[in-house]
Amino acid sequence: MKLRGYTVPRTPEGRSSLVPYPPWHYIGAFLVIDYWADPGRTVAFLPDGIDPHPDPGRCAFVAADWQSCSEGGDELVDPSRSQYKEVFVVCSGLLDGEEVTVCSYIWVDRDFALTRGWIQGFPKKLGSIWITRSFGLGGPADPGMAPGARFGATCAAYERRVAQATVTLEHPSRGGPFHNAPPIVNVRHFPRLEAGRHDAPAVHELVRAVSRDRAVSEVWEGSATLELFGAPHEEIDALAPVRIGRGYRFSFAYTVDDLETVRELGA
pLDDT score recorded for residue 59: 98
pLDDT score recorded for residue 266: 77
For residue 63, CA distances in Å to 66, 84, 102 come to: 10, 11, 16
CB atoms within 10 A of CB 97: 6
- pLDDT single digits (tens) 184-239: 999 999 999 999 999 999 999 999 999 999 999 999 999 999 999 999 999 999 99
- pLDDT single digits (tens) 6-46: 999 999 999 999 999 999 999 999 999 999 999 999 999 99
pLDDT score recorded for residue 85: 98
267, pLDDT greater than 80: no
Q: How far apart are CA 226 and CA 251, in angstroms?
A: 20
Q: How far apart are CA 40 and CA 57, in angstroms?
A: 7
Residues in contact with 257: Cβ distance below 8 Å, sequence separation at least 6, in sequence order:
22, 23, 24, 212
180, pLDDT greater than 90: no
pLDDT score recorded for residue 1: 67
pTM as predicted: 0.97
- pLDDT single digits (tens) 109-154: 999 999 999 999 999 999 999 999 999 888 899 999 999 999 999 9
Q: What is the arithmetic mean of pLDDT over 46-66?
A: 97
pLDDT score recorded for residue 208: 98
**Pick from 70, 162, 61: nearest CA to 113:** 70
Q: How far apart are CA 163 and CA 226, in angstroms?
A: 7
* Beta-ladder partners of 69: 25
Is residue 163 within 8 A of residue 87, CB to CB? The reply is yes
The mean pLDDT of the chain is: 97
Domains and CATH numbers, the chain: 31-66+80-264 (2.40.400.10)
Instruction: Using DSSP bridges, classify how beta strands 185-190 and 160-172 pair: parallel, antiparallel or unpaired.
Output: unpaired
